[in-house]
């Protein structure tokens, strides 16, 4: 809507003075965490607190060589901060393109400004797809607003001159000018203006799993540490130095140090890589949610197709009254505030025309009505929209054939009556059919074929005719594109659930039905990604497990999405899926190695308490395991491409990998600590034998994480395991160990072999039990639903 100087806009100087007085709008929340937040999240963790307390205890007794672990912790923390700051910089560099802006009347001219530059009494221009940036009052024009972010009600609300607008609501249709009445903290919905970004609650399996581990170890560490200390000091009367070092080693082993950091670094690297490909990931853990997606919901227009619609031809159906058809359309478009792709295509074809009078009523297009209309005094009403919404009109067979070819057909129809936006259209006379085309996007077929190979079901959710949507989907190579349903004929929740289970293409879908379809897919046990570009997609975007917006679409859709495709090209979605899978698959691999030490340290501490034995390791020995067998290979493995489908939940998979190794180490420790003499070991050789056995079983866990082998993984395994054993022998005095004798090496080899054999048997048993449990919990497929009429 063009605003004139008479609309009463401010001057630039007046706006500057109002901002200086604190009457400016509050800036939107940052799209990324601040530098301070990133530093705090990496430094102020429960793991770091435990590590600092343990380090302080070691320092008090002068165990300086055992403090090496704190330097590694500090280095890991710095690496994590640097990587996430790098990702933040990449995201912020491209997020400027999606930052919310508003058109403001300043010095008599419309200016496109960031929303934080709004001040009290500014006059703003709003149109379809915009989010209201501040509480305002309509000066002229008419809107339909979606206030679901404020009220939870998704039905559009009409607003005319004099009506109040609340920040956070979204313009569904129409245009208006409005004067800002409240800014900043005075806004009715300051906290809600960006609630669309909070879409659905973000479910991060990696994050929730690590929180469970943190809570569990945090619960065990204080009592176990206290028992180890008291038992050694009072029952065995050991020197304070030995008591502190052995107790500290037991507690350090329980902490999966570096794993949370590694998850964050891996996600940050993925986000930065996607940013270079012009994909904006608005939250680190959104990348993880992509990995779990097995249903992808796509729109037709602008996603499968290029989104550049054009009018192919006009088919006259009846002689229009009063004016020529081109004059009717020219007058209609001259006064229409619609700005979607269809209206742009119509404007390119029909020149706007002044017929000497303004309409007395304008009803903008909305996805609920699927038509727009305009009433001119003394002439009647022209409506343009979906053929099935034009009462009393029937499409000729030739036009049905156009729909079968994937073209979009609109009807322009006439009635002498006035129409109302909340009522169905009266019987109308079809004046002409408008045939529009939108070419299928290059690369769409390859992208859909990729998702089919990867087990991701693609569903097309379109507001267009189901026949048109199905034809376009078939052109794009979508499997089962002929399985379509007209959602305007689906009325009950049960019918919608049946449709979700049976069909691939959904036509004439309302915004509420898009959301309910996403919910139905989730109820079937699927993880759902939703792509969209318009206001009508916001409800579904907020409900989906992963929401993806096209940058060319509405501002509100971009704000609602977790991921924004800056080039509006859905063919980059496989890259997103691969990055998400890389993170989750690699974290599942390496977490199994980290958790081996956490589990055996906990079990070994309990065993030592029950047997009244000192914990058999000291902190520097645990640090060597952390460095060679966990941290170094895990860090480089986390960057290796791994696009395999995800199998099973993260924490159960990791525990199933690590439990057999931890149990084998506990068994070997019990044999050596209680029966080392019977095996011919001298008393001072038991600790070094046990340490070598622990290294061997941990190395076998590392080897499992490297399968299937490739040159990089072979290199990592050989250098990590070889480096550990060489360091254990060459630097035995630094590790507080005697030099192993030949008989000690022989016993260590024998016990290691037995422990690894026991691990393999335990792993096979666990896999067998997991397979039986999976068979038991698998539900048989539901019988096919009765088909809906495909006519």
Q: Which residues are catalytic?
A: 299
Tell me the domain boundaries of the chain.
205-271+577-769, 277-305+441-576, 311-436
List Cβ neighbours of 637 (8 Å cut-off, separation of 6 or more): 586, 589, 590, 705, 706, 713, 716
pLDDT at 150: 67
Buried b (16+ CB within 10 A) or exposed e, 136-175: bebbebbbbbbbbbbeeebebbebeeebebbbbbbbbbbb
Six token digits for residue 570 = 């859905």
pLDDT at 369: 82
pLDDT at 193: 39
Please give the DSSP secondary-structure letter assigned to residue 121. Answer: T
State the Cα–Cα distance between residues 655 and 216, nearest whole angstrom.
14
* Three-class HEC string of 318-339: CCCCCCCHHHHHHHHHHCCCCC
- Residue the block writes with tokens 């009266």: 426
Determine the longest span between alpha carbons in the chain, in angstroms. 112
Give strand pairing partners of 31: none
State the Cα–Cα distance between residues 302 and 345, nearest whole angstrom.
13
Query: DSSP assignment of 470-488, as one string?
Result: HHHHHHTT-TTTT-EEEGG
> Minimal CA–CA distance to 289: which of 199, 215, 212, 213?
199
pLDDT at 34: 82
The CATH code of domain 311-436 reads 3.40.1110.10
pLDDT at 785: 40
pLDDT at 781: 39
> End-to-end alpha-carbon separation of the chain, Å?
40
State the Cα–Cα distance between residues 259 and 596, nearest whole angstrom.
12
Local structure of 679: helix, strand or coil: coil
List Cβ neighbours of 748 (8 Å cut-off, separation of 6 or more): 688, 689, 692, 693, 696, 740
Mean pLDDT by 10 residues, the chain (791 residues): 59 79 66 80 85 93 91 84 80 67 87 86 87 89 77 72 85 87 73 44 76 86 93 92 94 84 84 87 82 90 82 92 92 85 89 88 83 91 88 77 87 90 86 90 91 93 88 90 92 94 92 92 93 81 89 76 87 91 91 93 95 94 93 90 87 92 96 92 93 96 93 95 95 93 95 96 87 54 40 34
The CA angle 479-484-487, to the nearest 5 degrees, is: 145
State the Cα–Cα distance between residues 746 and 762, nearest whole angstrom.
24
Six token digits for residue 747 = 């016993």
Buried b (16+ CB within 10 A) or exposed e, 356-368: eeebeebbbbbbb
State the Cα–Cα distance between residues 95 and 48, nearest whole angstrom.
32
H-run or E-run covering 755: helix 742-777
Query: DSSP assignment of 526-564, as one string?
Result: --EEEEE-SGGGHHHHHHSSEEEEETTS-HHHHHH-SEE
State the Cα–Cα distance between residues 81 and 83, nearest whole angstrom.
6
Domain 205-271+577-769's class?
A: mainly alpha
State the Cα–Cα distance between residues 382 and 471, nearest whole angstrom.
29
Contact predicate 178/134, CB 8 Å: no
Give the orientation angle of helix 397-404 with respect to helix 466-475, to 10 degrees. Answer: 40
pLDDT at 764: 92
Give strand pairing partners of 564: 280, 549
Six token digits for residue 69 = 């672990």
pLDDT at 774: 59
Strands 136-146, 157-159: pairing kind: antiparallel
Q: Alpha carbon of 546 to those of 283, 647, 734: distances in Å?
A: 11, 19, 51
Within 319-443, where are the H helices? 325-334, 341-349, 397-404
> Minimal CA–CA distance to 555: which of 146, 144, 101?
101
Phi, psi dihedral angles at 640 (to 5 degrees): -75, 135
Six token digits for residue 397 = 């067979």
Six token digits for residue 358 = 């303004």
> Minimal CA–CA distance to 532: which of 520, 544, 521, 516?
544
Within 24-119, where are the H helices? 35-43, 46-60, 68-95
Six token digits for residue 115 = 């929303």
Six token digits for residue 383 = 């409506």
The CATH code of domain 277-305+441-576 reads 3.40.50.1000
Six token digits for residue 378 = 């003394």
Phi, psi dihedral angles at 159 (to 5 degrees): -135, 125
């Amino acid at each position: 809507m063009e605003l004139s100087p008479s609309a009463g806009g401010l001057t630039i100087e007046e706006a500057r003075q109002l901002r200086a007085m604190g009457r400016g709008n509050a800036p939107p929340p940052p799209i990324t965490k601040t530098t301070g937040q990133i530093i705090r999240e990496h430094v102020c963790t429960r793991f770091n607190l435990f590590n600092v307390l343990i380090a302080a205890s070691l320092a008090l007794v002068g165990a300086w060589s055992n403090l090496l672990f704190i330097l590694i912790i500090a280095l890991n923390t710095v690496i994590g901060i640097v990587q996430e700051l790098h990702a933040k910089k990449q995201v912020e560099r491209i997020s400027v393109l999606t930052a919310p802006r508003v058109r403001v009347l300043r010095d008599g001219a419309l200016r496109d400004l960031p929303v934080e530059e709004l001040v009290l009494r500014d006059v703003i221009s709003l149109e379809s797809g915009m989010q209201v940036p501040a509480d305002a009052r309509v000066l002229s024009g008419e809107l339909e607003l979606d206030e679901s972010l404020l009220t939870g009600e998704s039905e559009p609300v009409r607003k005319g001159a004099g009506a109040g607008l609340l920040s956070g609501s979204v313009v569904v249709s129409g245009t208006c000018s409005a004067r800002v009445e409240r800014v900043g903290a005075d806004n009715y919905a300051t906290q809600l203006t960006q609630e669309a970004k909070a879409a659905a609650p973000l479910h991060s399996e990696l994050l929730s799993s690590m929180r469970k581990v943190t809570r569990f170890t945090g619960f065990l560490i204080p009592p176990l540490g206290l028992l180890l200390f008291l038992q050694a000091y009072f029952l065995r009367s050991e020197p304070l130095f030995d008591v502190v070092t052995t107790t500290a080693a037991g507690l350090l082993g329980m902490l999966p140090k570096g794993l949370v950091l590694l998850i964050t670094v891996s996600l940050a690297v993925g986000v930065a890589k996607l940013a270079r490909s012009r994909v904006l990931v608005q939250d680190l853990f959104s990348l993880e949610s992509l990995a779990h997606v097995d249903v992808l919901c796509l729109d037709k227009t602008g996603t499968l197709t290029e989104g550049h619609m054009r009018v192919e031809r006009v088919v006259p159906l009846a002689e229009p009254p009063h004016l020529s058809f081109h004059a009717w359309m020219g007058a209609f478009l001259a006064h229409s505030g619609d700005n979607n792709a269809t209206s742009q295509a119509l404007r390119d074809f029909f020149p706007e025309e002044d017929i000497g009078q303004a309409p007395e009523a304008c009803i903008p297009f909305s996805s609920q009505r699927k038509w727009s209309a305009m009433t001119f005094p003394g002439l009647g009403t022209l409506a343009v929209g979906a053929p099935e919404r034009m009462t009393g009109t029937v499409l000729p067979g030739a036009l049905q054939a156009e729909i079968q070819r994937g073209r979009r057909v609109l009807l322009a129809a006439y009635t002498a009556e006035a129409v109302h936006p909340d009522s169905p259209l009266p019987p109308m006379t079809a004046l002409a059919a408008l045939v529009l085309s939108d070419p299928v996007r290059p690369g769409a077929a390859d992208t859909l074929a990729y998702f089919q190979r990867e087990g991701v079901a693609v569903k097309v959710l379109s507001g267009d005719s189901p026949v048109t949507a199905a034809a376009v989907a078939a052109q794009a190579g979508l499997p089962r594109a002929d399985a379509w349903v007209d959602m305007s004929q689906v009325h009950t929740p049960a019918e919608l659930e049946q449709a979700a289970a049976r069909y691939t293409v959904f036509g004439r879908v309302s915004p509420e039905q898009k959301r309910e379809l996403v919910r139905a897919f989730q109820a079937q046990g699927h993880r759902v990604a939703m792509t969209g570009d318009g206001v009508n997609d916001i409800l579904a975007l907020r409900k989906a497990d992963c929401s993806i917006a096209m940058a060319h679409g509405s501002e509100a859709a971009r704000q609602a999405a977790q991921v924004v495709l800056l080039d509006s090209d859905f063919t980059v979605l496989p890259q997103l899926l691969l990055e998400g899978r890389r993170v989750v698959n690699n974290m599942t691999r390496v977490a199994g190695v980290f958790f081996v030490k956490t589990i055996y340290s906990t079990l070994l501490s309990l065993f030592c308490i029950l047997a009244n034995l000192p914990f058999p390791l000291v902190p520097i020995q645990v640090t060597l395991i952390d460095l060679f067998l966990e941290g170094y290979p895990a860090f480089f493995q986390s960057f290796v491409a791994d696009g395999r489908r995800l199998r099973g939940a993260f924490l159960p998979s990791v525990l199933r990998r690590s439990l057999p190794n931890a149990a084998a180490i506990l068994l070997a420790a019990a044999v050596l600590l209680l029966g080392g003499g019977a095996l011919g070991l001298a008393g001072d050789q038991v600790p070094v034998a046990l340490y070598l056995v622990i290294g061997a079983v941990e190395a076998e866990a590392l080897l499992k994480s490297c399968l299937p082998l490739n040159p990089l993984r072979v290199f990592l395994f050989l250098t990590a395991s070889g480096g550990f054993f060489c360091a254990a022998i060459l630097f035995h005095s630094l590790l507080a160990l005697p030099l192993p004798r030949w008989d000690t090496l022989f016993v260590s080899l024998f016990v290691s072999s037995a422990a690894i054999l026991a691990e393999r048997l335990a792993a096979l048993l666990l896999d067998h039990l997991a397979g039986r449990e999976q068979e038991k919990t698998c539900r048989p497929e539901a019988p096919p639903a009765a088909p809906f009429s495909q006519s």
